[in-house]
Amino acid sequence: MITYTGLNDGELAILLQQGDRAAFTEIYSRYKYLLYLHAYKRLRNADEAEDIIHDLFAVLWNNRDSFVLKTHLSGYLYTAVRNRIFKFMAHKDIESSYISSFFETAKNTVNITDHLVRENQMAILIEKEIAALPLKMREIFEMSRKQHLSHKEIADQLQLSEQTVSKQVSNALRILKAKLWFLTFLAFFIKP
């Protein structure tokens, strides 16, 4: 019967490649704590260090058929742990960057949404105030601002003088500005 604790790393590696569970158990027992300390020193997180060590040994066992030791077993295992730590940290950085980007995008989306809501509310208020203008003034104002007709074109269509049209548009703007300036201030400059 083989005493695995007395075998050197090279002998254990050969037995591992042949599928010997006891050799794997000996390698695990020999190196798990040292590798864990190495990983913990770098990560400063017990769970993450433990996960890396368990992953390393799971891969070692699952790939035992193709496992070829070209250096010392300890060097191989430390290098494998180091590479897993680098990969883990890179993944963590990418994850952190993605989360930051997500929150920045969400924040900007909220700002855009908030702006659009305020803009729509303002448009509704303006339309409400335009509808409250005296009938003839509203008709002239809408022809000027919505249909983009010149004062002369409006005057010709409504059989009025250009001066009357100009005066009605000016009066409509004055009324709307007086009613909407405070609402504009509230809608665009005060955050909810």
> What does the domain layout of the chain look like in residue ranges?
4-98, 132-189
* pLDDT-based confidence at residue 135 (cuts at 50, 70, 90): confident
For 95-116, b/e burial (b = at least 16 CB within 10 A) is: eeeeeeeeeeeeeeeeeeeeee
Q: What is the pLDDT of residues 71-104, one digit of tens each?
A: 899 999 999 999 999 888 887 777 667 666 666 7
Q: How many CA atoms lie within 13 A of 76 on its CB side?
A: 14
- CA nearest neighbour of 28 among 39, 40, 16, 19: 16
Q: What is the mean pLDDT of residues 22-43?
A: 94
Please give the Cα distance from 122 to 130 (Å, whole number).
Answer: 12
Q: Please state the length of the chain.
A: 192
Q: 35: which 2 tokens?
A: 């590798």
Q: What is the mean pLDDT of residues 46-54?
A: 93
Q: Where are the alpha helices (DSSP H) in the chain?
A: 9-17, 21-43, 46-62, 73-131, 135-145, 151-158, 162-189
Please give the Cα distance from 184 to 182 (Å, whole number).
Answer: 5
Of the candidate CATH numbers 4.10.410.60, 3.30.450.20, 3.40.50.300, 1.10.1740.10, the domain formed by 4-98 belongs to: 1.10.1740.10
Q: What is the mean pLDDT of residues 19-30?
A: 94
- The fold for domain 132-189 equals Arc Repressor Mutant, subunit A (1.10.10)
For residue 111, what pLDDT is reported? 62
pTM check: above 0.75: no
Q: What is the mean pLDDT of residues 132-147?
A: 84
For residue 34, what pLDDT is reported? 94
